[in-house]
Amino acid sequence: MVHGVVNYLFHDIEIKYYPPKTVKEAIIRGDATKKFVRQVIENHYPDVKFKNEDESDAFAVGLCWLIKNKKIKWKKKLKSKKETNTERD
């Protein structure tokens, strides 16, 4: 029922879906772990503090939209060798 109400209220708003890989590639070149994406965001925006992984994921998706729609200028960070060798999400 909630989905129906939300769909009714926001029927004229375009919904975008960004797969995790697209979000990560928008913020960092290539694949990265969620942890590394969060670290990059926190380094770029030191005043932003996330309470949990869901918050950092949501912020990353919003940031991806801003980058892809050229609303902000974003310089992608190259991954470190240590990050390249860590387990991927």
Sorted by where each begins, the domain ranges of the chain are 14-77
pLDDT of residue 71: 96
The tens digit of pLDDT for each residue in 64-89 reads: 999 999 999 998 766 654 554 444 44
The tens digit of pLDDT for each residue in 6-30 reads: 788 887 888 889 999 999 999 998 7
pTM: 0.75
* Reduced 3-state DSSP string for the chain: CHHHHHHHHCCCCCCCCCCHHHHHHHHECCCCCHHHHHHHHHHHCCCCCCCCHHHHHHHHHHHHHHHHCCCCCCCCECCCHHHHCCCCC
